[in-house]
């Protein structure tokens, strides 16, 4: 393996690791009780270990932008055909007349956008829309 390939491989491994922790951070932020129920099993019912793990999670709001910039640069170099796919999860489409669950973007989450109707009684889209189904 060439030095360049090894460097890209290491950077990709690090981005994947950081991305997994960012995904956990947003999952905890959007659905903390569900997150706790799931991960308490991983820590064999040890609340202290779970709390320590949660405290180590990154702040999605402040750490995502740095991760996204690094990911964008790496994808541009290694898989340029997939760059549009990466950016499509972050950037708004040119024309978006309404924001709903289907077109809610990570950028919306970072802004704290929540779309409601009927005087706020029905949530149309919120941060949980960015979580995988």
What is the domain range of residue 111?
93-133
Q: Are residues 35 and 65 located together in one domain of the fold?
A: yes
**Total tally of structural domains belonging to the chain:** 2
pLDDT of residue 103: 86
**pLDDT tens per residue, range 73-97:** 999 988 899 999 988 888 777 778 8
Q: Are residues 38 and 97 located together in one domain of the fold?
A: no
Contact 113, 47 (CB under 8 A): no
Q: Encoding tokens for residue 29?
A: 């932020």
Q: Are residues 65 and 33 located together in one domain of the fold?
A: yes
Residue 104: count other Cβ atoms within 10 Å of its Cβ.
20
Q: Are residues 4 and 65 located together in one domain of the fold?
A: yes
- Residue 46: pLDDT band (50, 70, 90) is very high
**pLDDT tens per residue, range 52-66:** 999 999 999 899 999
Q: Are residues 59 and 124 located together in one domain of the fold?
A: no
Q: Are residues 75 and 110 located together in one domain of the fold?
A: no
Q: Are residues 56 and 81 located together in one domain of the fold?
A: yes
Q: What is the mean pLDDT of residues 88-116?
A: 85
Instruction: Give the phi and the psi of residue 119 in degrees, each rounded to 5.
Output: 60, 35
- Residue 118: pLDDT band (50, 70, 90) is confident
Q: Are residues 13 and 42 located together in one domain of the fold?
A: yes
pLDDT of residue 133: 64
Q: Are residues 122 and 74 located together in one domain of the fold?
A: no
pLDDT > 80? residue 28: yes
């Amino acid at each position: 393996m060439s030095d360049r390939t090894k460097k890209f491989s290491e950077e990709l491994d690090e981005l994947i690791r950081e991305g997994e922790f960012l995904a956990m951070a947003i999952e905890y932020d959007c659905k903390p009780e569900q997150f706790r129920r799931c991960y308490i099993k991983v820590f064999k019912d040890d609340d202290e270990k779970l709390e320590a793990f949660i405290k180590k999670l990154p702040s999605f709001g402040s750490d995502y932008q740095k991760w996204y910039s690094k990911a964008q640069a790496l994808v541009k170099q290694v898989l340029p055909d997939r760059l549009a796919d990466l950016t499509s999860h972050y950037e708004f489409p040119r024309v978006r007349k309404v924001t709903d669950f289907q077109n809610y973007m990570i950028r919306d989450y970072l802004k704290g956008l929540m779309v409601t109707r009927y005087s706020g009684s029905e949530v149309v889209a919120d941060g949980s829309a960015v979580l995988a189904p």
